[in-house]
Structures are given as structure tokens and as C-alpha cells.
Structure 1
Amino acid sequence: MLIDDKLLNKLENLSAIKIDDNKKDEIKSQISEILNFVENLNSLDLPENIPHKILNTTLRDDIVEKSNVSESILKNAPNSEDNFFIVPKIVE
């Protein structure tokens, strides 16, 4: 696909990115290469129903367990109270 100045300006406005004038030709070429690659992907002959890996994955049960993670983390804190870190006030 050929990228012209009009399309590049539209992409520049949509992306809110300012492209230097001396880089525009290089960017147009790179975008064209990317789009040509995607067009090649579209031309692949793929089966209609590709199985998704997530559908075949066995998921574990979500079991709630008692944990003392907060206790082990807070024991390393210089100051804590009621399961919270105590830090110096920095905003008045």
C-alpha cells in the first residue's frame, strides 16, 4: 500500500505526533512496508476454526486460603500499625 502525504498527515493528526519534515519520506516507507507485511498475512490460507489454547487449558479452582503475607512484609517495615505502613507526612 502506498502512503501519500495526505494519509501521513491524517495519521500524524490522529496520533498527535509531530513528524519532522526530513523524516516524512522515511516514515512513509516504513509504514508501507508494515502494511505490505500485513497484506501478506491476510493472503495465508488458514483453516476457519483454529482452536484456541485457552479453551483447552485446565483451570485450577480458586480456593481462598489464610495467608500471612502482609505480616511477613510488614515485619521488615520501619514503622507499621493495623496492617498498614506508617510513613512520614510529606504534604502539608
Structure 2
Amino acid sequence: MSVDLETVKRVARLARIAVTTEDAERMTGELNAILGFVEQLDEVDVSGVDPMTSVIPMVMRKRQDAVTDGNKAADIVANAPAAEENFFLVPKVIE
């Protein structure tokens, strides 16, 4: 995959980044070099490599998977105009 000048300008516009034509031309070359490197990585055979989270063998710390209310219900409704028993009170909209 290669990137052309129009693609760089379009991405810059979508990202709301002001890019001059000279900068866009420079970025085109840089982005094509990056994509070329990624394509080289795609050629590497990693079929026998296990996924890892670190280069040092370690066990991931895990928390207990339990459902809680976060113990913050009172903090959440503290700024509400009206609340009752940690629930937001809203005007009735169905007649």
C-alpha cells in the first residue's frame, strides 16, 4: 500500500491539522517508508511464537471478576438536580 499526496491532505483535514503542500510532500515519503517497514514485518513467520505481554516472563495480576456498583453512587448523583435513593429523578415525559 502506498500513500499519495491527496491521501495525506485528506487525513490531515480529517485530523484538523494544518499542513502545507511542502509538508504534505515530505509526509508522503515518510508515511510510505513506515508502511514499507510494516509490510516487511508482515513477511516474518511468527507461527511458533506465543503471544506475550512482556519480554520478561511474568504472571499477569488479575482482579476478581465481581459485579459491584463501584461504591460511588452517592458521588455520581451528588450534582443531580433531584435524586432519591441514589437514582436520578427526572420529569415524567409520558402522558
Alignment TM-score, normalising by the size of structure 1: 0.52
**Number of the residue aligned with 2:66:** none
Q: Is the 8 A contact 2:2 2:32 kept in 1?
A: yes
Alignment coverage as a number of residue pairs:
62
Instruction: Give the superposition deviation at 1:24.
Output: 1.7
Instruction: Give the superposition deviation at 1:36.
Output: 0.6
Distance 1:18 1:50 in 2: 42
Stretches (4+) displaced over 3 A: 53-56, 58-61
Q: Which runs of 5+ in 1 are unaligned?
A: 62-92
**RMSD between aligned residues:** 3.1
Q: Which has the larger share of helix?
A: 1
Alignment of 1:26-41 (within 5 A): 26-41=26-41
* 3-state SS, counterpart of residue 47 of structure 2: coil
Instruction: Give the superposition deviation at 1:56.
Output: 5.1
**Number of the residue aligned with 1:45:** 45
Q: Structure 1 residues 27, 47: closer, same or farther in 2, change over 3 A?
A: same
Distance 2:24 2:16 in 1: 15
Instruction: Give the superposition deviation at 1:10.
Output: 1.7
Q: Which runs of 5+ in 2 are unaligned?
A: 64-95
